[in-house]
Every structure is written in C-alpha cells, then in structure tokens.
Chain A
C-alpha cells in the first residue's frame, strides 16, 4: 500500500468513526449540561454539571428510573437465558436431525421475526389483562421471547451447521452417549455461537419500547425505554432533555460492557484445526 492510499484509508476511517459516534458524543455532552445550559447553542457544556445524573439516580426521577433499570435487567436477562437454551436445542435439532416440518419451523421462525410488533401489541394488551399477565415480568418475558427466539434459532443453527458431523460421531465411537457428545463436544464448540446469540437477543430485548410501554403500567415491571418516555420536566414549560440524555448514557453502559467482556469469546475460528485445515 502506498502512503497516499494509507492516508486515504485513515481519513476515511476517521470520517466513518466520527459519523457513527457523533450522536453518542452529543448525548453524553447533553447529559452533562445543567438545565439552564441546555440551550447554550454549542456542542460542549459551558460548565460540567452532574445535575441530570443526580436527578435520575437520587432526585425526583429516581423513583421512575431505578425500578425501571432493575426491571429491564431482570426481564431481559431471563428472556435472553431462556431464548439461548431453547434456541440451542432447536438449532441443534434443525442442523443435525432429519424430521418432517424442519423447513416449516425455520420459515415460521422467520415469519414471526418479520411480523411488526405494533400489530400484536393491541391483542396482547387485551389478552394479558384477561389472564392477569398485564404489568408483570412474565408478561414482558413472553413477548420478548417471540422477538428473540426466531433470530436466535437462525444464528445458532448457522453455528451448529459449521461444526463437523464427525466430531460428534467420533465422540460416540469413543464411548459417549448422544447427550454426552452434545454436552462435551458440541456445546463447547458452539460457545462463540451461544455468546453471539445471547448478545443479539439481549440487545433486541433491551431496546424494546413498544411492548414495554403498552404492557406495563407501574414500576412493577416497566422497563427503562418505557420509563424514559415518561420523564417530565420540573414544570410543564421545561423539557426533560437533560435527564433523558443522562438515562440514555446509563442504559448504554451495560451494552458496551457486555460487548467488551464477550468480544474475545465471540471471535470465530475456534473450530480451526478440528479437521484438516
């Protein structure tokens, strides 16, 4: 690569990074502006202020935000866990076994995934109220599963297909039962796939707004995105932009941490060297 080309690559790279990170930077900067400073007309706050964070963590909005944060974590982690376990078994069956209706399951999963959330919300709202799931954790976990499972099954079965059949057969010849072969050979090999799937599932559920706002009414189960929508300013003439920005920053942190932790595990290529490479 000539120097000219290198420079071009670096410039283009910086441009893309700035373009992608600019809104994030803006939110962070907004969250650090005090309420008087919000309309200062410049990117950076005039003076750093923790006022917004104070407000959502210990102040007026804490009542709304903190339970929501707890709900979000609980509901999303449970939904992710269930989605991973279920999709692991489903994907294994799809990748390995020959059964009638295999195609049907895959295409149904896809169909569910492309179904617009907003069209199911109203019937679910009525149904949940009838059977007592409205404004409960399971009342959100179940719809979240419908969001995360199809995608999880698809990603996971792609990962399972990559694992050579011989691995499992070798384990069986070595004296393993089908379950042992699955647990000791297939699952460790599929770990990167499981983590990738888990992160995707986590994001989908974590970012949901439609279900969160429609199927909850109190802090018993309201997740963060819904709670953000309910923030209000100190008076009706004041917009709650500052606290919302602060909450948005806090909500982004777990996602960033999650990616950083699992980044190394997601690295593909664990199967390298299993078979002739």
Chain B
C-alpha cells in the first residue's frame, strides 16, 4: 500500500497541446480517489501517467515516497483494470488471474492459493477453466479485477471499468468495487465520466477540465459548495439550473421573479450587475404542496411548463425562459463543454411525484432560496461559496473513511 503524490504534472503531446496541465494532488494511503470530467479532459491520460504507460513531460510522480517518473510500469507495482478488460484470450480464467504471479515466478502452491482466494472473493470459482471468450461481460470484468487483486499491488487503477456493462450490471459491479476496496483498504484511483460512480464510490473526487484540476473534494462538498460554474454544472443529475439575474441591493431579478438574498450573500454579490444564479432542480417544488412554515423561507413564482416527466418516485418539469444574449452564449458554451449540448435555455425542476402540474399550463412553483449559489458569468467563479462549510464536509468524509477502515 502506498500514497500517491503528484507535483505539477504536465503532459504535452507532440503538437504542444497540454493534455494535462500543472496537476498537483495528494492521494492518501488507502484512499479512493475519483478522476472525473467530460471526454477529453485528460483524466485517462493522468491515470496512464500514474501507471507508467504514458511519459510525463514535467513534474514529479511520487508513489510510496519514491519518484517513479523514469520507472517502467512493471517496476511500479500497481495493478490496473482496463476499460475493455484486456484479458488474455489464449489463457484460461485461472491463468489470466495467475498471470502476474507467473511473471513474478511465484511457486505453484502459492499461485494456486492466491488465485483461489481471489476467485472466491469475486465468485469466479466455477469459471476457472473457461476461456474469456465464453464469459459474459460482467464475468470478464470480474476476471480483470481478479488479475488486479491477486498480487499485493501498492495501488489499484481503474480506467472506466464499468462503461462497457449494461445499466443494471453496472450498478451491481459498482457496489462490488466499493466493497472490495473497503475490504482490502488499498489506495485506488478510478477514472470515470459517470457521475453516479463518482459520487457513490469516491472518498474524494477530482474534477478535471481541459487538463486542469477544478476542484478536489468529497462528493458532498462538490455538490453543495462547488467552486465554479463548471463543477456546479457537472456534478448533479439533472444538472444545476443557471438563471441569469440582475442584482439590485439584496434582491436578484431573475426570469422567475425576484429572489431575496440573506445578508452574507447580499454582501458577496454587492457591486455586480449581471450574475448567474445556480439552483439545483430539487430546490424547487410545486407551490401547492409546500406547507406554510416552509413557504416563507423561499419565493413563489408562476411559469408555463413545457414538458413534464413522471418517473414514479419523482417528477421533473421543464420550464423555458429567455436569457439575455451575453449570458446565453456563455451558457451554450458551458453546456457544450459538459457534453450535454442543451438546445434551449430551460430550467429543469424536480417536483413531488404526486404533483398535478401538467404540461402546457401555467403553474405556481416554490423556490428554496437558502441553498442557491451565485456565479460570476465572466470567470465562472462561485461568489457565494462557503469555504469553511465545504472543508467541513470533506473533513467529515475523511473521518467516516478512517473509522470505516
């Protein structure tokens, strides 16, 4: 087991384009770190630099206290699960799992014992004699994991290991990976573009954008105290709504009417004209279903509903709105970067599944103003981020992890 430290890691390709730019990060011993971001953000490149399949242009990669920049992959003692599993098709499941041990010239009885142990953990016992070609996707995935856990590696690296599985299996394997990591307590770096995986698996999550770290924090901190528009828009599903607003004193004028800010927030946005208000879908509610005591903590407004989606346990309503051209371009750019390519400016609001709000009609909504964030449209910075509250959330996550080990 080992910690992984990265100091100002840069990766430039032949054309000079920095795929990873000045990344510094500490991954503690036994920690589960997620690298997440839209496609092309450099997360896989970063992982491949840790394992040694990609050269590091500059910076230091330190694993377990040793600088490994110039070491070959086999000298780093890491194990990796590839996106397409990369099983050896000419070897049986047993030999696939035993492969690293065979290379290390382990004695036969040790190979047998360790492979049996690993296959028990992954419930592969009855498939040991089969060839990978005869296994299902989930079984292949487990063989790949078996090959990773069979030797005492310093860290596990996962490169989008679940992206080739169907949705149901993905959910099962996700909990499987989480349980395995907790049980073995081995430092893990996990690359994904799926934010459910990022939120559920990671002790901490590193959000990357164009090769630059945006924020490294616990999933809760990312969700509740994002540093900028990008993180706020990337984390959460459906994504956070960004409404253009003009500031007048302690009031924000939005397309959905005025929103009153509390004193601290009013101070943080003072002196600005145009801002973006970030509101998560669940901060909205069907006004008729909000009880009186809660009602006064937010604002109500009426709007015309474009589409509703009833999912059984929840319900989403889509409310289109007009954005001024200067913010509109900004929002379009952001949604393109987040791989969502939203065509029109609309708010997605989550309402109770019993709500009788129907599409095409005017309806009254209630908005919880306590948790909203205000962003600078130019730089994208979160103006109302509470550093201390965020750090507290991550500290709590770290404590949970330590007590769990």
Contact = CB atoms under 8 A, between A and B. Distances in A.
A189 B90 contact: yes
Interface string A120-139: 00000000000000000000
Contacts of A41: none
Nearest to B141: A276
A142 interface: no
Given A273-B132, A273-B140, A276-B164, A175 B104 contact: yes
A273 B131 contact: yes
Contact of A177 (B74, B83, B88, B89): B74
B293 interface: no
B82 A272 contact: no
B82 A172 contact: no
Contact of A274 (B53, B78, B79, B89): B89
Contact of B84 (A164, A172, A188): A164
A236 to B, nearest CB: 60
Contact of B82 (A166, A177, A271): A166
Contact of A172 (B73, B135, B140): B73
A172 B103 contact: no
14 contacts: A166-B84, A170-B82, A172-B52, A172-B73, A173-B78, A174-B79, A175-B104, A184-B103, A185-B88, A188-B90, A189-B89, A189-B90, A273-B87, A277-B133
A184 B103 CA distance: 10
B145 to A, nearest CB: 13
A165 B103 CA distance: 19
Interface of B: 51-53, 72-74, 78-80, 82-90, 99-100, 103-104, 131-135, 137, 140, 147, 151, 164
A175 B147 CA distance: 12
A276 B147 CA distance: 17
Nearest to A174: B100
Interface string A153-186: 0000000000010110111111111001000110
A270 B78 CA distance: 28
Nearest to B102: A184
Given A172-B74, A273-B131, A273-B140, 14 more contacts: A169-B82, A169-B86, A171-B88, A173-B52, A173-B53, A173-B78, A173-B79, A173-B80, A174-B74, A174-B79, A176-B103, A184-B99, A270-B90, A276-B84
A191 B82 CA distance: 24
Nearest to B150: A174
A275 interface: yes
A271 B133 CA distance: 8
Given A171-B99, A172-B53, A275 B74 contact: no
A169 B47 CA distance: 13
Contacts of A188: 88, 90
A96 B87 CA distance: 19
B53 A271 contact: no
Contacts of B164: 276
A191 B53 CA distance: 26
The 4 tightest CB contacts between A and B, nearest first, are A273-B133, A275-B84, A166-B86, A170-B86
A164 B84 CA distance: 10
B89 A174 contact: no
Contacts of B103: 174-176, 180, 184
Interface in A34-62: none
A175 B72 CA distance: 9
Given A175-B103, A274-B132, A276-B164, A167 B73 contact: no
A175 B103 CA distance: 6
A174 B157 CA distance: 12
Given A175-B100, A175-B103, A176-B74, A273 B86 contact: no
B238 to A, nearest CB: 29
Most B C-beta atoms less than 10 A away, residue of A172, A174, A188, A273: A174
Given A170-B80, A173-B79, A174-B100, A274 B74 contact: no
A137 B85 CA distance: 48
Contacts of B79: 173-174
B144 to A, nearest CB: 8
B34 to A, nearest CB: 20
A225 B74 CA distance: 52
Contacts of B51: 173
B356 to A, nearest CB: 45
B82 A274 contact: no
Interface in A233-277: 270-277
Nearest to B133: A273
A276 B137 CA distance: 7
A171 B151 CA distance: 14
A276 B85 contact: yes
A274 B100 contact: no
Contacts of B137: 276
Nearest to B84: A275
A169 B78 CA distance: 12
A174 B134 contact: no
A271 B90 CA distance: 8
Contacts of B100: 174-175
Nearest to A274: B89
Contact of A173 (B73, B87, B134, B140): B73
Residue with the highest number of chain B CB atoms closer than 10 Å, among A164, A170, A177, A270: A170
